[in-house]
Structure 1
Amino acid sequence: MRTGSAESAYQERDAYLAAVERAAAELADDRRRALVADVAVRIDRGLDGRPGAMSEVLAELGDPRAVAAGVPVAGRAPGAAGRRSRVHPAVPVGLIAGSYALALVLQLAGAPTGVLSVALLLRLTGVVLLCTSLFWGPGRKVAGALVTLVLPAAANLLWNRELSGEDSLALRVLADVCQVLCVVGGAAWLWWTRRKA
């Protein structure tokens, strides 16, 4: 026999499962039943060792609509259904490309080297947002970080350490062109290869 608190907990569970079932109305009957059964099993597993924690277990599962949206449906990518990116893809791309423009303006204005770190901070922020975004797959994220951050930094270090003693304008121009192609070209490539929402 269930106590009053246990009865209340099971009513809460049943209400949650009913909400998941309503949210999954677009699924075929057998898939909807399988989803609800799976969620019920997850609830039971969550209660193992903490029998009075129904509210906490349901809170850990999240909103029933998000749980239902996480199920793959024909025409909808799995995983993308229940998750939305909080940052528009233009933000990381813009920060990456804008960082080079800012660095160029600061250099032409004769800003001290320490001020140029602002441009690097913008680029780092853009790369971090790129790496946490849902608009690019893992391979494109790695390629984007390499092309827009690592290669330009390597070209800049090479110039500053190895070539700056030589008074060769051609080598400096070559290093600058490499950075433009990497940062701005890489940002443009990222923009064109993003996943469409």
Structure 2
Amino acid sequence: MKHSKKLVSLTALSLLVSFSSWGQQYVFTYSKLYSQLKHNVSKANPDVKVAFFFTNKGTGKLCTPVKAWMENQKHSEQLKIGVNKELIVPLDSNLKEANPLVFVDTPTGKQCDFSTTIMTREQLSGTVTYSQLQNIVEQMQSVLNELGGMFSSWFTPKIEGVTLEFSDKLPAEIEFSNGLVKPITDGKVHILLSDIGTGRSIIIPEQTSRILPYIPK
């Protein structure tokens, strides 16, 4: 498991086949992806989920997969890519038993790394309270602990806030009810719960594209 000061990212095992000009094809077994997706059915964490993305190694920005599909000896099925560039893989116990291979082609000209990310199911905008974000952070921590396994309490980092990402790169800022202001830089801003304060709130100027865990350095 790997983490950075900006977000939590968990690397899944895969077979990587390189194309020319950094185009790449990833090949996964469905059962490997299922082992992470199964955490999405927990009733204890209804507001967050495990999701799959590809990130440009050089820029840190998300890559949009060119094509994604599952296949075995009898069947082949295309997979969808979400508007936020998420690789959408169905959660199905029957597929786990069949265990097809999952193929993903990434764009040429980019070196894209696969990551498993914890994020919210729904996006936020407008006034958001401390208690709302605290609830999200607690659920993210719970999922991170589950992914870490039996001894996760020994090494799992503490999530202390969220990273808000936006598809619109226009200059904007997050206003805190306590008077603090944080600029949105290159479509991202980190929000610590301690910066908001119990009983207070923030104003998000436009709908987020992703809300991820944030672990300060």
When normalised by structure 1's length, the TM-score is 0.25
Q: Higher helix share goes to which structure?
A: 1
Q: Higher strand share goes to which structure?
A: 2
Higher relative contact order (CA 8 A, sep 6+): 2
When normalised by structure 2's length, the TM-score is 0.23
